């Protein structure tokens, strides 16, 4: 009986920790008023702080990856003086799939990672402004790209 209760508890905890699947849409667009240099610096600082591996940084393009447990993903960030776009390049172990309409699916954890990155970039831009390093700052997410998939 004790083992049945333990199994039920573990099952409920696992179910509560699972994430749902969302559709992958066009690139996530974020608007930020900053020089490309200030925005690039804020992006690199944020990626490093959040434990992304920066694979490439040329001009105004960054390719980075993140590994967490048995899952990973790679993103490309293109930035300019009015904001940046994050494009999902590939992912593994994140509930990848295709819906009935042929659109890519991924775990909602990906959206949490992107919100975390956006918040960190915003914070770094504000810190850069308060230390007199640059112009930045109102960062606002342009549009939510992934929509919750219907079961």
| Each residue's pLDDT tens digit, 46-77 | 999 999 999 999 999 999 999 999 999 999 99
Q: What's the pLDDT score for residue 15?
A: 37
Q: What's the pLDDT score for residue 102?
A: 87
Work out the average pLDDT over 104-127. 91
Work out the average pLDDT over 31-60. 92
What's the count of helices (H) and strands (E) in the chain, helices before strands? 3, 9
Query: Which token pair is 64?
Result: 């980075």
What is the pTM (predicted TM-score) of this model?
0.71
Exposed / middle / buried, residue 131 (Cβ in 10 Å: 0-12, 13-18, 19+): exposed
């Amino acid at each position: 009986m004790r083992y049945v209760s333990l199994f039920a508890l573990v099952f409920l905890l696992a179910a509560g920790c699972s994430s749902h699947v969302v559709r992958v849409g066009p690139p996530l667009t974020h608007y930020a008023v900053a020089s490309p240099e200030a925005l690039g610096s804020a992006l690199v600082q944020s990626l490093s702080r959040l434990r992304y591996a920066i694979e490439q940084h040329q001009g105004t393009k960054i390719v980075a990856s993140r590994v967490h447990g048995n899952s990973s993903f790679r993103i490309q960030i293109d930035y300019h003086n009015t904001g940046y776009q994050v494009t999902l390049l590939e992912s593994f172990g994140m509930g990848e799939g295709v819906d009935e309409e042929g659109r890519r699916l991924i775990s909602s954890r990906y959206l949490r990672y992107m919100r975390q990155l956006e918040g960190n970039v915003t914070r770094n831009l504000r810190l850069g402004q308060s230390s007199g390093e640059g112009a930045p700052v109102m960062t606002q997410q342009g549009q939510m790209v992934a929509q919750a998939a219907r079961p």
